[in-house]
Amino acid sequence: MNKLVLIAGGSTLVYLGLALLMGVFPGIALSLTPPGPGVKPLTPIEAEGRDIYVADGCSYCHTQQVRPLPQDKVFGRPSAPGDFAYQTPELLGSERTGPDLSNVGARQASDVWQYIHLYNPRAVVPQSIMPSFSWMFDVVDKAPAGVSSVPVPKAFAPAHGVVVPGHQAQALVAYLLSLKQPPLPGAEAMAGAGASAPAAAPPPGGAAAPAPGAASAPAPTAAAENGETLFVNNCSGCHQTTGEGLPGAFPALKGNAVVNDADATTHMHVVLFGLEGAEVGGVKYDSAMPAFGDMLSDKDIAAIIDYERGAWRNTGKPITAADVAAVRAKGK
């Protein structure tokens, strides 16, 4: 009997100690992490959307953790401990079959895009392998008053009627759009984030030097200087890699008057400060374009604009980062 007590009891006691040490105590200590500056609790509809995100297992393909590594800069600034104060259950995830969503509300701020994408991801990203969440939408003859129908491209739209977001889709999109990383205030905050990650903190060459006028702007990397890559990462979701946009949802850049205008001021202004209720080529667009001035440096914006002005047989004249800085300085 003694042997049994020693083996079963002894090993279980040892294990209990280790479980407390590695599971319970870190859990207790870290549960007390205070929210970071600007980190707010979710509104009721956002919280409802988060429950749907959990129920439908979104985090099996999408992480919500930006690592302090150069390849993660496209997704936002490195996640800080204070970002997770209101995140229970945690949704950090373990796989990136799809992109990280920590900052998707800023990266992809258009609710119209989010709705089309949820209804059928391939309508906006042809190569996407994300499932369609069409069951969260209703197909009706006519959108009820006060509800905008989703401008799903013809090839993906139902044969009859229009698509309107159901309550689940509205809640989920409200949650997705709430996913915005609040900027870490200055260098102190960077040190704060670094406290949890000093050794891996920005590797040499990728040091996080805040871009002018944009506290949270990712630093340029060699690859990120490529205007096409920047365009694909930031713009093609709506305007498409073909530059043709989506009829009725997102305007084309190919042959676009602003893009081909010899004076690039409006072009730069739109990219820096965003646009709402735009009328392009006689068509009015409900979807808002986000302001990229908060997310990208002047150099990156110049690279994107130059790419847009030269691609798809466009004939706009190229500009420089200094031009962008001048427009940024003038303000909205």
Partner 1 sequence: MSQEVISRPSGTLSGDEPSLRGVFTAYTVSATAWLLFATFVGILLAYKFGAPDFGPGAWLSFGRLRPIHTNDTFYGWASIGLVGAAYYVAVRSCRTSLYSTRLAWLGLGLFNLAAIIGTIALDLGYSAGDLEYREWPWPVRLIFLAALVVTAWNLIATVARRDTDDIYLSNWYTMGGVLWTCIIAVVAILPWYQYGLGQVAVSGYYMHNAVGMWFTPLALGIFYYALPKLLNRPIYSYALGVLAFWTNLAFYPILGAHHFLFSPLPWWLQTTAIVFSVAMLVPVLAGSANYLLTMRGRYGELAHSYPLMFIFVGVVGYLVGSTQGTVEAFRSLQEVWHLTNFTVGHSHLTMYGFVTFAVWGGIYALLPAATGKHPSQLGYALHFWMALVGSFIYVISLSIGGTVQGLDWIHGLPFIQSVVDMQPYYVWRGVGGLLMFLSHLVFAWNVWRMTFARHAEPATPALAEEATA
- For the bound state, the minimum distance from the C-beta of residue 193 to partner 1, rounded and expressed in Å, comes to 7
CA-to-CA distance for 207 and 223, rounded, in angstroms?
Answer: 15
Apex 227 CA angle, 280 and 70, nearest 5: 125
- For the bound state, the minimum distance from the C-beta of residue 66 to partner 1, rounded and expressed in Å, comes to 9
Based on the shown chain and the rule CB under 8 A, indicate whether residue 16 belongs to the binding site for partner 1: yes
- The mark string for 249-288 relative to partner 1 (x by CB under 8 A, - otherwise) is ----------------------------------------
Task: Say how many Å lie between the first and final Cα of the chain, rounded.
Answer: 81
Parallel/antiparallel/unpaired status of strands 137-140 and 162-165: antiparallel
Based on the shown chain and the rule CB under 8 A, indicate whether residue 129 belongs to the binding site for partner 1: yes
Apex 273 CA angle, 271 and 147, nearest 5: 95
- For the bound state, the minimum distance from the C-beta of residue 52 to partner 1, rounded and expressed in Å, comes to 8
- The mark string for 109-128 relative to partner 1 (x by CB under 8 A, - otherwise) is -----------xxx--x-xx
Residue spans of alpha helices (H) in the chain: 2-4, 11-19, 25-31, 44-55, 104-107, 111-119, 167-178, 186-195, 227-234, 236-239, 257-260, 265-273, 298-310, 321-330
For residue 328, give every residue at least 6 positions away whose Cβ sits within 8 Å of its Cβ, in sequence order, or none: 212, 213, 272, 293, 298
Based on the shown chain and the rule CB under 8 A, indicate whether residue 159 belongs to the binding site for partner 1: no
Q: How many residues bind partner 1 (CB under 8 A)?
A: 92
With CB under 8 A as the contact rule, the residue among 80, 124, 289, 303 that binds partner 1 is: 80
What token pair was written down for 157?
């739209």
Based on the shown chain and the rule CB under 8 A, indicate whether residue 58 belongs to the binding site for partner 1: yes
Based on the shown chain and the rule CB under 8 A, indicate whether residue 210 belongs to the binding site for partner 1: no
With CB under 8 A as the contact rule, the residue among 37, 40, 60, 247 that binds partner 1 is: 60
- For the bound state, the minimum distance from the C-beta of residue 278 to partner 1, rounded and expressed in Å, comes to 25
Q: How many residues does the chain have?
A: 332
- The mark string for 90-109 relative to partner 1 (x by CB under 8 A, - otherwise) is xxxxxxxxxx----------
- For the bound state, the minimum distance from the C-beta of residue 185 to partner 1, rounded and expressed in Å, comes to 17
Residue 258 CA, chain-centre distance (Å), reads 26
For residue 268, give every residue at least 6 positions away whose Cβ sits within 8 Å of its Cβ, in sequence order, or none: 301, 305, 319, 323, 324, 327
Based on the shown chain and the rule CB under 8 A, indicate whether residue 191 belongs to the binding site for partner 1: no
CB burial of residue 291 (10 Å; 0-12, 13-18, 19+) = middle
Based on the shown chain and the rule CB under 8 A, indicate whether residue 57 belongs to the binding site for partner 1: yes
With CB under 8 A as the contact rule, the residue among 148, 229, 265, 314 that binds partner 1 is: 229
Based on the shown chain and the rule CB under 8 A, indicate whether residue 178 belongs to the binding site for partner 1: no
Tell me whether residue 116 or residue 327 sits nearer to partner 1 (CB atom).
116
With CB under 8 A as the contact rule, the residue among 37, 40, 43, 131 that binds partner 1 is: 131
By C-alpha distance, which of 304, 292, 299, 295 is closest to 322?
299
What token pair was written down for 127?
């190569």
Based on the shown chain and the rule CB under 8 A, indicate whether residue 11 belongs to the binding site for partner 1: yes
